[in-house]
Amino acid sequence: MFSVPPTPDCCKGLDNVKRGVKTFEQRKYMCICLSTAAAIASAPDPSKYVTLPQMCGVTLFAPVGPKFDCNSIKL
């Protein structure tokens, strides 16, 4: 887990991004973006990034993290 919980603004931003993603192609690009961010995060353990949606109470269409294969997302 994060040593500091995400801010309400961070969680609101994640939720807003999720709500704006409507098509399969947009979901794939969002996955790539978030997975890339997780891989380059400055946190000591970027794998903790995968807990962000859960900590924010935001349900994404697929797991997101530095090792998730976004090409595995199905319609």
The share of the chain scoring above pLDDT 90, in percent, equals 8
Domain assignment of residue 20, yes or no? yes
Cβ of 49: how many Cβ atoms within 10 Å?
A: 19
Average pLDDT for residues 30-40, to the nearest whole number?
77
Q: Looking at the predicted structure, is the pLDDT value of residue 27 above 80?
A: yes
Domain assignment of residue 44, yes or no? yes
Comparing 36 with 2, the larger pLDDT belongs to: 36
State the residue range of the domain holding 24. 1-56
Average of per-residue pLDDT values in the chain: 80
Query: How confident is the model at residue 45, as a pLDDT?
Result: 67
Q: Which residues contact 47 (CB under 8 A, 6 or more apart)?
A: 38, 65, 66, 67
Q: Looking at the predicted structure, is the pLDDT value of residue 47 above 60?
A: yes
Domain count for the chain, please give it: 1
Domain assignment of residue 3, yes or no? yes
Domain assignment of residue 27, yes or no? yes
Domain assignment of residue 32, yes or no? yes
Total-model pTM: 0.68
